[in-house]
Amino acid sequence: MYLEGIVAPQNYQLALKWYLKAAEQDDADAQRKVGNIHCKGLGVPQDQAKGMEWYLKAAKQGDAPAQCKVAILYSTGDGVTKDYKHAAKWYRKSAEQGYAPAQRSLGNLYRKGDGGVSIDYTKAMQWFLKASGQGNAQAQADIGTLHYSGLGVPQNYEVAKDWYLRAAEQGNTTAQFQLGYMHESGVGTPQDYSQAYRWYCKAAEQGNGRILSAMLDLGGFYYHGEGGTLQNFSRAMRWFTQAAEDHVSAEAQYNIGTMHHQGHGVIHNFETALEWYQKAAAQGHTSAQYSIGLLYLNGEGVTQDFVMAMEWFLKSADQGSPSAQIAVGNMYFHGLGVSHSYHHALEWYIKAAGQGCAAAQSNIGIMFFNGLGVRQDQREAIQWLTRAAKGSDASAQRYLERASSLDQQQSE
């Protein structure tokens, strides 16, 4: 009641208090809700690691939604070291209990070949169908994409269209966008620009005023070639520009800056990239702040300036960006723009490592391995390097091989 504001006024602190009482008595539903509060930062500082602890308590009791939450955090590396195999394990536990979001996610693992599973479109389709049978719109869109692309089934645009329609009528933007594209291109249906416009508008408006979100989604679909569409940087730029101009969207401004930075669909131009990054950074966009730092660090579009680079990295790092936290650590490590300090470097690496960042974990391991600013400690080094290696960090893997080789030499 206190969490949703039903009957009683919304009060996250009171909600947490009462959920904790139940959670400490092993109530799985309460444990999951405590996890939600910490992960979302509802009335408390956002702490995904603490959220993961509570999700695991509920998940180990067989709570299917909590098992799915655990899988999501393992797949994203939020609050825990990224581990696709563990993600797949927990998705499966949840999916086998009939939880539709997990069934859809497990199908997606089989479609992409993530989580230690081989690509298997037949199994992907089986899990998508299970989720779809419970009305999961994203699974219906995924089925449409398999038919559209001929993955595991004969390519059939008409069947794809039928599945996209089911998902689109539930408000799925992927499906709405794809229907717009099919009508615009005349694929699987007679070319009909009025229908294309209709579905593009539904995708953009989402039926509930989420115009900006849909614009960014559509720009992202074209930028990455998602949702069964071909990559098209020009169309991505059009949607991002509209979002930036109509809604002064920091995310859109950042995306436009990235496209100029990378030369995607436009002439490569660091100066223009900087202008757009600055607009987004002025709104507190952490990735834009970090990107400005990179431009100053590398002297791209500006005179190389390590002090300015450090200033921008700190802006982003103070907002919790693990990439920026590593960058700040590196600046201290190498003495760029600040006095050389292994101690401060380690502090920032630990901040990023606490968010499951493999590169930061690797850097900490290397410092202990070589005794840089800390007492040399092979055991501590191997612990950090092993965590990083699970996140596929190449440097950590090389150092572990080196440590193994040294052990063999010493034992001979």
Tens-place pLDDT, residues 87-126: 999 999 999 999 999 999 999 999 998 767 889 999 999 9
Residues 6 or more apart whose CB falls under 8 angstroms from that of 379 comprise none
Q: Which amino acid is at 206?
A: Q
- How is 172-241 classified by DSSP, letter by letter? -HHHHHHHHHHHHHTSSS---HHHHHHHHHHHHHTTTT-HHHHHHHHHHHHHHT-TTPPP-HHHHHHHHH
Q: Which of 132, 207, 215 is nearest to 171 (CA)?
A: 207
Residues 6 or more apart whose CB falls under 8 angstroms from that of 405 comprise none
Q: CATH assignment of 143-203? A: 1.25.40.10
Using CA atoms, how far apart are residues 109 and 400, in angstroms rounded to an integer? Answer: 29
Kindly tell me if the per-residue pLDDT of 140 is higher than 70.
yes
Cα-based distances in Å from 277 to 249, 286, 307: 12, 10, 18
What's the confidence (pLDDT) of residue 52?
A: 93
CATH class, 13-134 region: mainly alpha
Least confident of 27-31, 166-170, 353-357: 27-31
Q: What is the number of helices (H) and of strands (E) in the chain?
A: 22, 0
What's the confidence (pLDDT) of residue 1?
A: 42
Q: Which helix (H) or strand (E) holds 342?
A: helix 342-353
162 Cα distance to chain centroid: 30
What's the confidence (pLDDT) of residue 193?
A: 66
Q: Answer whether 211's CB lies under 8 Å from 218's CB.
A: no
CATH, domain 284-348, list 1.20.58.760, 1.25.40.10, 2.40.70.10, 2.60.40.3470? 1.25.40.10
pTM: 0.55
Highest mean pLDDT among 87-96, 173-182, 220-229: 87-96
Would the CATH topology of 143-203 be identical to that of 284-348? Answer: yes
In the chain, domain spans: 13-134, 143-203, 210-280, 284-348, 356-399
